[in-house]
Amino acid sequence: MSQVHSNLQRSAWSDWWEGTRRTDIWWTLAWFDIVLRYRRSMLGPLWLTLSMGAMIGGMGPLYSSLFGTELSKFFPHLALGIIFWGFFSSMVADACNAFVSSANYLKQGYFPISLFVWRSIARNLIQFAHQIVLYVPVAIWAGISVGWHALLVFPAFAIAIINAHALGLLLGLICTRYRDVTQIVTSLMQMLMFLTPVLWLPENLPSRAKYILWNPFAQMLDLLRTPLMGGIANPYSWFGILGWTALSLIGSCLLFKKYRRRVVYWL
């Protein structure tokens, strides 16, 4: 039996673990993606920081005036909202194209498909690292003091990565089979940006419309942003995001087990 054939006969768990443990491959591929994107650029990935900084700097005073909110309170809220939402939306967009954009690798030989989901996550983590540094001068200017509860960002970020990987497998499989789903997801993310407190404060929301804060992106944003602003996230956000995580893990596991071998035929 050939090695390729024996690899295809592995269990779903073995297939997932083989891709997950090869950090050397997916981190290298992710780094090369960033390098190639900014090839022959003098500043390289620093353009990510500068472009995001220009957006935050331009929108902060404007939206603070529109909403009648003190700039020192609104600016950190907006900065973290834009940074984290950029991370979320980029993760989802890359999840839809995780396998399609890796077609050359998948067609040339056996690769565990989970490897390419980790590749997209690693690429977005590199981009996020270039953008989150913008919050440091904003927090210093606004005089934000964080306590021990800021450490809750780490478990919240771990949950975000787990969800990103689950959605990567789920959306990657669906969007590889049905290419129109990518456009649907893109349109949905554009709508969800305005239904998530990225550009506005939750306390400005009328009581009858509080239900929109139950969308998973709003809950994840609450868990990540509130501790960095010196507060404590709503306990309901933890319950909600843990429930959503369980559903996404179940859905991704079922699809991964059943359809992982068909990806190469769908490309």
Q: What is the pLDDT of residue 85?
A: 93
pLDDT digits (tens, 9 = 90+) for 123-158: 999 989 888 888 888 888 888 877 788 888 999 999
Q: Which residues, 6 or more positions from 222, have their beta carbon under 8 angstroms from its beta carbon?
A: 197, 213, 233, 234, 237
Backbone phi, psi, residue 22, to 5°: -85, 65
pLDDT digits (tens, 9 = 90+) for 179-230: 899 999 999 999 999 888 888 888 877 776 677 888 899 999 999 999 998 8
- What number of helices (H) and strands (E) belong to the chain? 13, 0
Residue 7 has pLDDT above 60, yes or no: no
Residue 1 has pLDDT above 50, yes or no: no
Comparison of pLDDT for 5 and 169, the residue scoring more: 169
Of 46-55, 110-119, 211-220, 233-242, the one with minimum mean pLDDT is: 46-55
pTM: 0.88
Q: What is the mean pLDDT of the chain?
A: 85
Contact 83, 133 (CB under 8 A): no
Among residues of the chain, what percentage have pLDDT more than 90? Answer: 33
The rounded distance, in Å, linking the Cα atoms of 219 and 237 is: 5
The rounded distance, in Å, linking the Cα atoms of 132 and 265 is: 39
Q: Which long-range contacts (CB under 8 A, 24 or more apart) does 6-10 make?
A: 7/110, 8/110, 8/261
Q: How many domains does the chain have?
A: 1
7 vs 4, 18, 110, 117, 194, CA distance in Å? Answer: 5, 10, 7, 19, 45
Residue 182: both structure tokens together = 């990518």
The rounded distance, in Å, linking the Cα atoms of 176 and 106 is: 12
Residue written as token pair 């689950």: 166
Residue 207: both structure tokens together = 């009581």
Residue 2 has pLDDT above 60, yes or no: no
Contact 163, 87 (CB under 8 A): no
Residue 168 has pLDDT above 60, yes or no: yes
Structural domain that includes position 213:
3-266
Backbone phi, psi, residue 201, to 5°: -90, 135
The rounded distance, in Å, linking the Cα atoms of 173 and 255 is: 8
Q: Which residues, 6 or more positions from 108, have their beta carbon under 8 angstroms from its beta carbon?
A: none
pLDDT digits (tens, 9 = 90+) for 53-88: 888 888 888 888 877 788 888 888 899 999 999 999
Q: What is the pLDDT of residue 122?
A: 93
